[in-house]
Amino acid sequence: MTDSPLAELSRCQPGLRLLTEPGELEHYGRDWTRRWTPDPLAIALPASVEELQEVVRWCHRQRISIVPSGGRTGLSGGAVAANRELVVSLERMNRVLHFNAVDRTLTVQPGITLHAVHEAAREHGLIYPVDFAARGSCSIGGNIATNAGGIRVIRYGNTREWIAGLKVVTGQGDLLELNRGLIKNSSGYDFRHLLVGSEGTLGIVAEATLKLAAPPLPSQVMLLALPDMDALMQVFSLFRERLQLQAFEFFTDHALKHVLQHGGQRAIDGDYPYYVVTEFDAVDEAAQDAALAAFEQALEQGWVSDGVIAQSDAQAAALWHLREGITESLASRRPYKNDVSVRISAVPEFLREMQALLTREYPQVEVVWFGHIGDGNLHINVLRPEALGEDAFIAQCEHVTKLLAATLQRHGGSISAEHGIGLVKRAYLESTRSAAEILMMRGVKQVFDPHGILNPGKMFGSN
Ligand code: 2HG
Ligand code: ZN
């Protein structure tokens, strides 16, 4: 009699931790999308690079599909296991391995949370500058897999900019050591950058060497209320010209309403359609005066209706919560999400078209939008009306997404700015990438993962 695949895996790797309880399968088989019913084969939790390689080699031999798994905070279904895949959770590989003061790098295992990376950098008087609301739960491996952006991209760029080196296990179980922390390395293809944003389809991050930066200058946080959409980019241009921005984020009155209902503190009286939270360097009185002057000019121009500057760290955190608390405040509604981007110069025209499209196509539906407007990145969260069934709702949203994708295409934008393609957006990849590009992407996938075992069905549809 032949072993069942799992019994065979246990026999080959007796030390490997495997989970198979229904509750565990559900927990590790889903991400924050909550759209698919989790149905993994089992959960493997390797504790070392060697164990990870062994698992992948076994899957390669047995043609068993793998879903690499970090904090599963993804919003595109990239970490969903709904087809009897083996979830390979990196949760036990969560340590800081090495700090190099000369190189200013931190080498970490993939399962470490972003928050723990921030803490580790801070202990050495430095920062790891990529930051966003899921910091306490997301893992650095997942951040790398999606080239995560967040709230400080305007100053520091995306995750990609902060990867000095990667150890990666390919679909055959080989270990690649990519770039080894070098600043200069002009020796052919830089696979490190191919792996960043590859959503677990090319390899599994086994170790990452992160660049660190000097802490930012003292800053101030300001909340602005705006009278209309056109004012958004006017204020952004003005503030970017006058101030050293660390962040420039926007949200609508709908978003604010949900955060306030979930414990957020109202900071501006009155109702306005748009809000901006911005953080900028404020080293001395002159810098603070410049911020005030910029605010007054925006007020005079009619681009800003009201505003408040945080007077303490606690107040700054409360203002930030109005923006960062949006996703959580909507989570129980399981919104349909779009995460789109265009070049900053295309934002005003795109916004106008997008607003007209959403108003026309979602007449009875609450649509909440917000995002990293300073990076040209908008998040659209569509809330299902109670009267509409789940399937009909998804069908309607997918229809609108098709129209949105066409609008994005006309503006040279992207259907996924920072959350990845995963399962949610695979039908729209062609709106952002040409047929020739997709063919080459598939070719690359074939080289890294000849049997197509790494995260099949993600990004391309069928691998
Ligand atoms: C954010 O910017 C995250 O807060 C989540 O990217 C966006 O929930 C969303 O749509
Ligand atoms: Zn975002």
Q: Best substitution site from 152, 321, 323, 370 to test ligand 1's pocket, by max atoms within 8 Å of Cβ?
A: 370
Tell me how far the alpha carbon of residue 289 lies from the centroid of ligand 2, in angstroms: 30
Alpha helices for 309-460 (secondary structure H): 313-324, 326-330, 347-361, 390-410, 435-448
Entry field: residues in the chain: 463
Q: Is 183 exposed, middle or buried (0-12, 13-18, 19+ CB in 10 A)?
A: exposed
Tell me how far the alpha carbon of residue 108 lies from the centroid of ligand 1, in angstroms: 25
Tell me how far the alpha carbon of residue 184 lies from the centroid of ligand 1, in angstroms: 34
**CA 333 to each of CA 32, 224, 337, 368, 378: distance values in angstroms, whole numbers, following the listed order:** 12, 27, 11, 12, 19
Q: Best substitution site from 34, 75, 322 to test ligand 1's pocket, by max atoms within 8 Å of Cβ?
A: 75
Tell me how far the alpha carbon of residue 254 lies from the centroid of ligand 1, in angstroms: 15
List of long-range contacts for 190-194, beta carbons under 8 Å, 24+ apart:
192/163, 192/165, 192/166, 193/160, 194/444
Does ligand 1 have an atom closer than 6 angstroms to the CB of 73?
A: no
Q: 306-309 and 203-211 as β-strands: parallel, antiparallel, unpaired?
A: unpaired
The ligand 1 atom at the shortest distance from the C-alpha of residue 418 is 6
The ligand 1 atom at the shortest distance from the C-alpha of residue 338 is 10
The ligand 1 atom at the shortest distance from the C-alpha of residue 372 is 2
Tell me how far the alpha carbon of residue 58 lies from the centroid of ligand 1, in angstroms: 36
The ligand 1 atom at the shortest distance from the C-alpha of residue 324 is 4
Return the ligand number nearest the Cα of 33.
1
Tell me how far the alpha carbon of residue 154 lies from the centroid of ligand 2, in angstroms: 12
Residue nearest to atom 5 of ligand 1 (CA): 327
Does ligand 1 have an atom closer than 6 angstroms to the CB of 135?
A: no
pLDDT tens for the chain, 463 residues: list them: 457 899 999 999 999 999 999 999 999 999 999 999 999 999 999 999 999 999 999 999 999 999 999 999 999 999 999 999 999 999 999 999 999 999 999 999 999 999 999 999 999 999 999 999 999 999 999 999 999 999 999 999 999 999 999 999 999 999 999 999 999 999 999 999 999 999 999 999 999 999 999 999 999 999 999 999 999 999 999 999 999 999 999 999 999 999 999 999 999 999 999 999 999 999 999 999 999 999 999 999 999 999 999 999 999 999 999 999 999 999 999 999 999 999 999 999 999 999 999 999 999 999 999 999 999 999 999 999 999 999 999 999 999 999 999 999 999 999 999 999 999 999 999 999 999 999 999 999 999 999 999 999 999 975 4
Axis-axis angle for helices 285-301, 229-242 (nearest 10): 150
Which residues have C-beta within 8 Å of that of residue 351, sequence separation ≥ 6? 229, 232, 233, 378
**CA 446 to each of CA 83, 318, 438, 455: distance values in angstroms, whole numbers, following the listed order:** 21, 48, 12, 13
The ligand 1 atom at the shortest distance from the C-alpha of residue 380 is 10
Query: Are the CB atoms for 70 and 131 separated by under 8 Å?
Result: no
Does ligand 1 have an atom closer than 6 angstroms to the CB of 133?
A: yes
- Between CA 446 and CA 441 the distance in angstroms is 9
Structure tokens at 315: 């107040």
Strands (E), 187-260: 203-211, 219-226, 245-252
The ligand 1 atom at the shortest distance from the C-alpha of residue 337 is 10
Alpha helices for 210-284 (secondary structure H): 229-242, 253-261
Does ligand 1 have an atom closer than 6 angstroms to the CB of 323?
A: no
Tell me how far the alpha carbon of residue 288 lies from the centroid of ligand 1, in angstroms: 30
User: How would you classify residue 452: left for phi > 0, otherwise alpha for psi between -120 and 50, otherwise beta?
Assistant: left
Angle at 320 between CA 314 and CA 144, to 5 degrees: 120
Does ligand 1 have an atom closer than 6 angstroms to the CB of 327?
A: yes
- Between CA 166 and CA 210 the distance in angstroms is 9
The pTM of the full predicted model, rounded to 2 decimals, is: 0.97
Structural domains of the chain ordered from first start: 4-91 (3.30.43.10), 96-211 (3.30.465.10), 219-327 (3.30.70.2190), 335-420 (3.30.70.2740)
- Between CA 362 and CA 360 the distance in angstroms is 6
CB-CB neighbours of 248 under 10 Å: 24
